[in-house]
């Protein structure tokens, strides 16, 4: 029942933003990842992993109007692996520091798996696209997709999931396990939260500057997997997301939110 609930909520949430694509026209903006992240913490790896896999398949298939093979080949295994691992590391072993670290690693792993499988297994092998395209160009697309998903998902998971957990615990006091109850008595450590955002933000700004002022931009314009329009979108996206993540990270590092003191 819990797994079905996770899958249904994730499918609905994913479909809401299903038509906001990545710079390549495939792969979507998906803040709904807060759903399986929440289930990973509160209910464990199986509901989170299976729910995420079924939810993404349902959302992708409804969007395309048929059972979408790209989702089966790439999104299903990636979502299952990422959120199963998140649940495995966090369920009954929860702390806010652990949550911040595992959220970063889980999202990175899940999105890397989806991106690599989508580009190389689905696009190249299944659809026979990108024939003659150098492997390094395809790898750059997979890396770009991974980065796009990671930086657009991370703030939602880190900032939205904790209030959802707290609300669920308040509504259902018998629901959480003891270590989660203990963690909820404390504030999220602002220093760790800020650092987890400043790092990706700085990387994005470096990428944006590289695209603008080095040969990377010219290479992207002349590459069929990118092109001038995609290059411009990536450039703007990196500047904007890099600035937002860096600003949020510095905000938390400065102690304006999150805090360092425990609440007992």
Residue 250: per-residue pLDDT: 93
pTM to 2 decimal places: 0.89
| pLDDT tens, the chain, 264 aa long | 899 999 999 999 999 999 998 988 888 999 999 999 999 999 999 999 999 999 999 999 999 999 999 999 999 999 999 999 999 999 888 999 999 999 999 999 999 999 999 999 999 999 998 888 999 999 999 999 999 999 999 999 999 999 999 888 888 877 777 778 888 888 888 888 999 999 999 999 999 999 999 999 999 998 888 999 999 999 999 999 999 999 999 999 887 554 444 443
Block residue for tokens 């690599």: 116
Q: Is the distance from CB of 138 to CB of 130 less than 8 angstroms?
A: yes
Fold observed for domain 2-185: Arp2/3 complex 21 kDa subunit ARPC3 (1.10.1760)
């Amino acid at each position: 029942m819990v797994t079905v609930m996770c899958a249904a909520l994730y499918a609905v949430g994913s479909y809401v933003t299903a038509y906001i694509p990545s710079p390549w026209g495939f792969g979507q903006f998906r803040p709904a990842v807060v759903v399986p992240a929440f289930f990973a913490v509160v209910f464990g790896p199986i509901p989170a992993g299976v729910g995420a896999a079924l939810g993404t398949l349902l959302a992708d298939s409804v969007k395309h109007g048929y059972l979408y093979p790209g989702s089966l080949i790439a999104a299903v295994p990636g979502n299952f692996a990422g959120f199963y691992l998140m649940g495995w590391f966090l369920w009954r072993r929860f702390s806010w520091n652990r949550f911040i670290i595992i959220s970063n690693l889980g999202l990175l792993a899940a999105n890397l798996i989806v991106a690599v499988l989508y580009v190389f297994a689905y696009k190249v092998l299944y659809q026979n696209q990108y024939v003659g395209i150098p492997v390094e160009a395809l790898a750059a697309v997979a890396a770009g997709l991974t980065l796009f998903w990671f930086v657009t998902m991370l703030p939602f998971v880190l900032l939205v999931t904790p209030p959802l957990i707290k609300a669920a615990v308040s509504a259902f006091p018998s629901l959480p396990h003891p270590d989660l109850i203990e963690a909820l008595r404390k504030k999220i450590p602002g220093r760790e939260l800020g650092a987890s955002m400043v790092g990706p933000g700085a990387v994005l700004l470096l990428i944006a500057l590289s695209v603008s002022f080095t040969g990377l931009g010219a290479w992207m314009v002349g590459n069929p997997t990118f092109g001038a329009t995609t290059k411009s979108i990536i450039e703007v996206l990196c500047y904007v997301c890099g600035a937002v993540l860096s600003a949020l990270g510095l905000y938390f590092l400065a102690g304006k939110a999150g805090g360092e003191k425990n609440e007992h």
